[in-house]
Amino acid sequence: MVAGVRYEMLADPRVLPTQADELTRVVRASLQPDRGQGSDDDRVFEAARTALSEGGLWGQEHRAAFWGVVAALPGVEAAEGQDGAGRTGEVLRYTDSGGVVHQLVRDPATGLLLEESGGDGSWTRYLEQRPAPEVPLEPTIELAGCATWATC
């Protein structure tokens, strides 16, 4: 906490290390007893998975470091494979303290996450991240052709 406001240790890439072992220490130090579920390893996995799913916001060195955080968790299985859409990638499987298997698939060239899934295949999220040719316009009432958001 800084001045009564919770400071998110994992929010600023300028202060985060780009080495997986050092980043693991930072992630573990950022765990709070009242946030998240499961074991400390489960919460480390969740923090790294969240960062990886927002991979386009991180530089390639940080994406590689967060991947390394997951890869170093006890019991993680690493392999080459494909996501459900047939894209070739690197695969990590993590079994959490409740026995649920989580799978991450990333593009080996960019480090961007292609797919994340969990459980018995009951959910899968496919990601497609790439540079945009231009910054998208923020939606406005005028662009939508509406008088108010309530009637849009």
First to last CA, the chain: 41
| Regions of the chain short of the pLDDT cut 70 | 1-11, 120-121, 130-132, 136, 149, 152
**Which pLDDT belongs to residue 14?**
77
**Which pLDDT belongs to residue 127?**
76
Rounded CA gap, 38 and 102, in Å? Answer: 14
Instruction: Residue 94: name the closest of 126, 33, 52 by CA.
Output: 52
